[in-house]
């Protein structure tokens, strides 16, 4: 524990490069969220709410009905993206294992940093809890649309927590492995 700053150059380089490469991945991930979902709880809830485009609307009303709400023609051409259940399953299947691997790799880096045990425990717990919260929020908003905004908040908090853990680990690693003079 805590030996990364004093480890050989190649070990420190691997840790720093891993974190630097993860940075663009996080940046594009955030861009993807901006393009296809939202950074607000209500936006997240609307994106994953059940019954979106592409989902065959198999639920039948007791009688056919039509309700109208005003729109502007300009708004009509704004791209709207919806994540239906099949896509949410696919997203979960792809993202959750990758998030688990990233959390595990971040944990390895955290083990090597010169931090108190309490801080390490906190960071490791946050690294795993953040993606869990993210997907718990997405599925909650999909399955319980009436509480969509609450679950959307959980997803947004989880997403930002992932970014926060990464940022803390990146800067502590850069400081301890590159910027601060190391006493062997």
Partner 1 sequence: MSRRSLALSLVLAMSLMALPLAAHVTPNVQLLKKGRFIAHALVGASRFFERHLKLDAADRKVLEKETGWVPSSDDTKIYTGRTKDGTLVGTAVFLWMPSEHGPVGVGVAFDPRGKILDAAVTDVGSEPLAWVQPLIDAGGLSAFKGLAEDATPDPGAIAPAVKGRMSRYYAKVIADAVARAQAVEELSRKAAAGK
Other beta carbons within 10 angstroms of residue 71's beta carbon come to 8
Taking CB under 8 A as the criterion, the residue among 35, 66, 181, 184 binding partner 1 is 66
Question: Does the protein bind partner 1 through residue 76 (CB under 8 A)?
Answer: yes
> Given the rule CB under 8 A, which of 35-43, 47-55, 120-128, 161-169 is the region that contacts partner 1?
47-55
Nearer to partner 1, 67 or 146 (CB): 67
**What DSSP string runs through 80-127?**
-----HHHHHHHHHHHHHHHHHHHHHHHHHHHHS---HHHHHHHHHHH
**CB 124 to partner 1: min, Å:** 24
DSSP state of 175: I
Q: Is 146 in the site for partner 1 (CB under 8 A)?
A: no
Minimum CB–partner distance for residue 25 and partner 1 (Å): 8
Cβ-based nearer residue to partner 1, 56 or 146 = 56
Question: Smallest gap, in angstroms, from Cβ of residue 30 to partner 1?
Answer: 14
Stretch that binds partner 1, among 48-56, 116-124, 142-150, 163-171 (CB under 8 A): 48-56
Query: How far apart are alpha carbons 28 and 97 in whole angstroms?
Result: 18
How far is the CA of 112 from the CAs of 4, 108, 127, 147, 177, in angstroms?
A: 4, 7, 15, 41, 10
Which of 91, 16, 100, 7 is CA-nearest to residue 48? Answer: 91
Q: Is residue 35 within the footprint of partner 1 (CB under 8 A)?
A: no
Q: Does 54 participate in binding partner 1 (rule CB under 8 A)?
A: yes
Binding residues for partner 1, rule: CB under 8 A, are 9, 12-13, 16-17, 20-21, 23-24, 28, 51-58, 60-74, 76-77, 82, 177-178
């Amino acid at each position: 524990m805590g030996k990364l700053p004093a480890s050989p150059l190649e070990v420190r380089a691997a840790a720093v490069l891993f974190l630097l490469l993860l940075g663009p991945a996080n940046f594009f991930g955030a861009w993807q969220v901006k393009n296809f979902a939202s950074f607000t709880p209500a936006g997240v809830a609307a994106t994953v709410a059940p019954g979106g485009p592409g989902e065959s609307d198999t639920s039948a009303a007791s009688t056919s009905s039509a309700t109208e709400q005003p729109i502007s023609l300009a708004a009509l051409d704004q791209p709207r993206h919806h994540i239906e259940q099949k896509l949410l399953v696919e997203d979960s299947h792809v993202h959750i294992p990758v998030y688990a691997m990233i959390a595990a790799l971040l944990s390895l880096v955290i083990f090597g940093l010169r931090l108190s045990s309490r801080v390490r425990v906190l960071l490791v717990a946050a690294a795993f809890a953040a993606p869990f919260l993210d997907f718990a929020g997405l599925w909650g908003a999909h399955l319980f649309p009436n509480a969509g905004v609450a679950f959307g908040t959980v997803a947004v908090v989880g997403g930002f927590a992932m970014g926060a853990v990464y940022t803390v680990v990146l800067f502590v690693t850069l400081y301890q492995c590159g910027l601060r003079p190391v006493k062997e």
